[in-house]
Amino acid sequence: MTQRRRVAIAADHNGVALKAELVEWLVARGHQVDDRGTDGDEVVDYPPLCVDVGRLVQSGDADFGVIVGGTGQGEQIACNKLRGIRAAACHSLLATEIARGHNDANVLVLGTKLVTPAIAREILSVWLSTPFKGGRHRSRLDQIAAIERGEEL
């Protein structure tokens, strides 16, 4: 059984339907979900949603963030502008395992144009159950943190 997690989730207009499915899936498995919107068909900009979810992860109010967009590319870029956020756009199980196990990614980004709801649930399951491996990967995260601080490597 996967540890119960606090998950902040948001979607732009492209991801509303998939977000709703993922919220239901998470709640059914006992996770605490903070649904940050969007819930309608109106076109919305994704950067404020990314900042909202990212800030919850930064503060420790959420263990993980999930952002759902069209392809997830812009969302991944926006999330990764926040210090301490390691967002990964995952469209395969292998990418998900690497993002969590090697990169200790803390925000999962999904693209509704790239994954089916069934695959998205599988990706989320792998995301929640894959621990960070540490070891040699820890020093790489330390280097990423140094880059965020503007230090030379």
In a domain, 28, yes or no: yes
Number of domains in the chain: 1
- What pLDDT, on the 0 to 100 scale, is given for residue 37? 87
Confidence at 41, pLDDT banded by 50, 70, 90: confident
Write down the pTM of the prediction. 0.95
In a domain, 15, yes or no: yes
For this structure, is 91 an active site residue? no
Task: Report the C-alpha gap between 19 and 76 in whole angstroms.
Answer: 16
Task: Report the C-alpha gap between 31 and 40 in whole angstroms.
Answer: 24
- What pLDDT, on the 0 to 100 scale, is given for residue 12? 97
Q: Which residue has the tokens 């395969």?
A: 92
- Domain range holding 98? 6-148
Task: Report the C-alpha gap between 53 and 1 in whole angstroms.
Answer: 25
Helix (H, G, I), strand (E, B) or coil at 20: helix
In a domain, 1, yes or no: no
Q: Give 81-110 pLDDT, tens digit per residue.
A: 999 999 999 999 999 999 999 999 999 999
Which one from 13, 31, 91, 102 is the annotated catalytic residue? 102
- What CATH number did the domain enclosing 97 receive? 3.40.1400.10
In a domain, 117, yes or no: yes
In a domain, 23, yes or no: yes
